[in-house]
Amino acid sequence: DARVTQTPRHKVTEMGQEVTMRCQPILGHNTVFWYRQTMMQGLELLAYFRNRAPLDDSGMPKDRFSAEMPDATLATLKIQPSEPRDSAVYFCASARASRNTGELFFGEGSRLTVL
């Protein structure tokens, strides 16, 4: 089964440390999304890429967050320095840029805890 793969599944770190989350989209999908899920805010769109180019990262705190797609098989979300309020589950999702289905395929998420 084709699936979106995210690593790590769980990460506990201390405030001030750098955190990097990785995502491997489904082969052939050229659109990648990063979402953050918290109890208070629900699912927030942080950024999305199409054909590896960032189209919108307006949902991301620019001072500490950065998202990149160094190649078509890898998307990264980095937080530096991390803060306790960054504790959340971070989801990566991928899709084809076509109108056939519109569906996003999600990874299992990375649960981040910042102490």
* Interface residues toward other proteins, by CB under 8 A: 31, 33, 35, 42-43, 45, 48, 50, 55-56, 89, 91, 93, 97, 101-104, 106, 108-109, 111
Q: How far apart are CA 21 and CA 19, in angstroms?
A: 7
Q: How far apart are CA 36 and CA 99, in angstroms?
A: 25
Q: Which is nearer to other proteins, 8 or 16 (CB)?
A: 8
Q: Which is nearer to other proteins, 30 or 66 (CB)?
A: 30
Q: Minimum distance from CB of 16 to other proteins (Å)?
A: 27
Sequence-distant (≥ 6) Cβ neighbours of residue 72 within 8 angstroms: 25, 30, 52
